[in-house]
Amino acid sequence: MKEFITLAYPDGTHLGKLSTKEKQQHIDDVMAYLEDLDRQGKIKSAEPLADIGRQIIGKKGEITDGPFVETKETVAGFFHILAKDMEKAISIAKANPMFNLEEGGRLEVRPMGIINKI
């Protein structure tokens, strides 16, 4: 199995427009998705990321505030998955419950361990 990192970029405030009941249902759906991947041995870890932090930029390592919640490019979390190849990793990512939300979002799937192959 190869390792992939999937970065989650939800659109807008993906949970902000949901009722309390809808938010809980989404959380339940995500947990079921993760439990299913775990049963299949296809996930190593998954974590949401806080919407606050700092960025270190440029040669001098300037520190700036960010990411910002209102930025559409904020990474909300990651999934460290195991798959035979990129196509299987994409299939796993496409089953993510974030795509059931009205606003949806974007998942970026990238192979890990490239440095070890150089």
**Any idea which residue has 């190593």 for tokens?**
44
What is the spatial distance between Cα 91 and Cα 38, in angstroms, rounded to a whole number?
15
pLDDT at 116 (0 to 100): 55
Domain with residue 101: its CATH number is: 3.30.70.1060
Q: Where are the beta strands (DSSP E) in the chain?
A: 2-10, 43-48, 54-57, 62-65, 77-83, 105-111
Q: Is the pLDDT of residue 89 over 80?
A: yes
Summarised one tens digit per residue, pLDDT across range 2-35 is 999 999 988 766 677 788 999 899 999 999 999 9
Stretch 90-98: mean pLDDT: 94
What is the spatial distance between Cα 8 and Cα 48, in angstroms, rounded to a whole number?
9
Q: Is the pLDDT of residue 118 over 50?
A: no
Number of domains forming the structure of the chain: 1
Range of the structural domain that residue 90 is part of? 2-117
Q: Is the pLDDT of residue 85 over 90?
A: yes
Of 86 and 71, the one with more pLDDT: 86
